[in-house]
Amino acid sequence: MALRVGTPQARLDRAMVLHYAVPGFLGSALLALGALGVGWLPATSALLDVDLVSTLRSTTAGAVLSRIAVFAGVALLLQAWLVLGHDVLDDLERSEPRLLWILALWTAPLLLMPPLFSRDAYSYFAQGQLMLEGLDPYTSGVSALPGWFLTGADPLWSESPTPYGPAFLLLEQGVAAMVGPHPFAGAILFRLIAVAGVVLLAVHVPRLAHAHGIARTKALWLAVLNPLVLMHFVAGAHNDALMVGLMVAGLALTVGRRPVAGVVLIGLAAAVKPIALVMLPFAGLVWAGTRAGWWGRILAWVKSTILVLLVFTVLSAIAGVGLGWVASLSTPGAVRTWLSPPTALGMATGNLLQWLGIGTVDGAITVFRAIAMAAGAAISLWLVLRPEGRSPVRGAALCLLTIVALGPVVQPWYLLWVLPLLAATGLTGAQLRLAMLLTAVLAVHGMAESNATADTLVDLRDGLATFLAITMVAVVALSSPGERRLILGQPVDRGLRPGSAAARARAGSLVVQRAGSSIS
């Protein structure tokens, strides 16, 4: 029966469409328009011959219009997300299917646009071509391909070996074989692979949150409808989306008492990007059980390791590659970014020492990175060996957060490695507010670096663009009483916490107890 216009449900439906769905959809549509002008297109793309695209890319007015479209698009997405978050956190919007419908609507305009905020998708395509040529991406950069620059791959990585695992190499090879000499078509397929990762997140973040006593819709809003997901996982087509999706799905299955399937998915996540191996000891803790003794934990770790080794062995045999990814793990560290605390400290200290004539920037960065890596390893080991008092998934989130914060390089989308696990295991009001502020700050970073046709996206060099981005985000974040409450006060003071006795009991059942001496 049709809803009457004045009913509470009808008013809620209108609010959903007018306040959340339509503004976010318009934001994504503006991003898609802007990408035609400042997103990356290979020199061979037929899109360059389209009048609109040619005008946007070849004229000053077109370039300005494109960047304005990107700025406005991100601002609208951020505002729609905050408005939705106010109602979700205040328990005015509790429908998970409605949130999924909104996510699909926000995603749709981005599916066929040129890559924006990154051109890594073209590097994926070129690495797939390397595989088709019988070359090993662990020893050869894409510059080994004749005419490699026509693929759109970033020259910054042209001679670098790939840091990806055998599962993603197989996907790269399959995409390159499927699309032939058409890198833009390959980029679109890699975006669809990334969207598959987002779908995994949309399914499994709520499940993992429910197991920890956290409201499914609140975790879904924070971790999956987040503007950074749309900017970097969808628009940017990063393979991190697939890695994180498999990783979260694996932990959710393990918590759901399907440890073999869960560990296999974590193995697949690591075979996309090996950083997901960090999840393995924590999945083992879940498998062993909260009251397991040390021998029980060790047995679970051994079984988990064997499963992951089998996954890597099979995939490496199919791909025809070895363990070259181990040596390639340092490849991303060649980038210097102020987003990495140890690298930023090293650059700041090194510049001072160099000015004083008593040191170099390279030397300072090396020292700070070494100290940070040693501290990160020690904290990670402590989280694994002293898991009592927290759930293993919470321990995994803290471990990954430590690795990101103390890592030699941090990219804006690295926050999305951690956010799904933090959202699913709970946040205080202050932590939730920090997550929202980081989302806004990294949205500014993406807006200011939206000119993906540049050779590098490492530094914020356009002061005017940065100022405009900060101004727009500040306006949208504080434009209404509801958004000001969200950023500055209620309802986030409650954070993401179990809200009932049953929820607290579920969360408590996952907390690791002190290990005994018996095998369990």
DSSP-H helix ranges across 272-413: 280-288, 294-319, 324-327, 341-356, 361-385, 392-405
DSSP string, 10-77: HHHHHHIIIIIIHHHHHHHHHHHHHHHHHS---TT-GGGGSHHHHHHHHSHHHHHHHHHHHHHHHHHH
pLDDT at 191 (0 to 100): 97
pLDDT at 380 (0 to 100): 93
Once rounded to an integer, what is the mean pLDDT over residues 160-183?
Answer: 91
Residues sharing a CB contact under 8 Å with residue 321, sequence separation 6 or more, in sequence order? 136, 137, 138, 166, 169
Does 3 score more than 50 pLDDT? no
Q: Tell me how far apart the terminal alpha carbons of the chain are, to the nearest angstrom.
A: 56
Does 66 score more than 80 pLDDT? yes
Does 414 score more than 50 pLDDT? yes
Rounded Cα distance, 336 and 366, in Å: 11
Average pLDDT, the chain: 84
Confidence of residue 293 (pLDDT cuts 50, 70, 90): confident
Confidence of residue 2 (pLDDT cuts 50, 70, 90): very low
Which among 263, 241, 245 is positioned nearest to 254, based on CA atoms?
263
Does 11 score more than 70 pLDDT? no
- Percent of the chain past pLDDT 90, that is, above it, reads 44
pLDDT in tens, 115-125: 998 889 999 99
Confidence of residue 46 (pLDDT cuts 50, 70, 90): confident
Please compute Rg for the chain using Cα positions: 23
Rounded Cα distance, 256 and 124, in Å: 34
Amino acid present at 348? A
Confidence of residue 269 (pLDDT cuts 50, 70, 90): very high
pLDDT in tens, 337-375: 767 788 888 888 877 877 777 778 778 888 888 898 899
Once rounded to an integer, what is the mean pLDDT over residues 227-240?
Answer: 95
Which among 50, 268, 47 is positioned nearest to 166, based on CA atoms?
268
Confidence of residue 518 (pLDDT cuts 50, 70, 90): very low
Rounded Cα distance, 443 and 484, in Å: 18
- Percent of the chain past pLDDT 70, that is, above it, reads 84
Which among 110, 117, 125, 109 is positioned nearest to 42, based on CA atoms?
125
pLDDT in tens, 442-453: 888 877 766 544
pLDDT at 136 (0 to 100): 84
pLDDT in tens, 300-341: 999 999 999 999 999 999 988 877 666 656 555 556 676 778
Does 494 score more than 60 pLDDT? yes
pLDDT at 203 (0 to 100): 96
Rounded Cα distance, 345 and 318, in Å: 43
Least trusted range by pLDDT, from 266-270, 285-289, 411-415: 411-415
Least trusted range by pLDDT, from 57-71, 73-87, 445-459: 445-459
Confidence of residue 13 (pLDDT cuts 50, 70, 90): low
Report in angstroms the alpha-carbon separations of 230 from 283, 306, 423, 439: 28, 36, 17, 12
Rounded Cα distance, 80 and 147, in Å: 43
Task: Name the residue with higher pLDDT: 42 or 254.
Answer: 254
List the structure tokens of 136.
């090993």
Does 145 score more than 60 pLDDT? yes
Task: Name the residue with higher pLDDT: 56 or 488.
Answer: 56
- Beta carbons of 165 and 270 less than 8 angstroms apart: yes
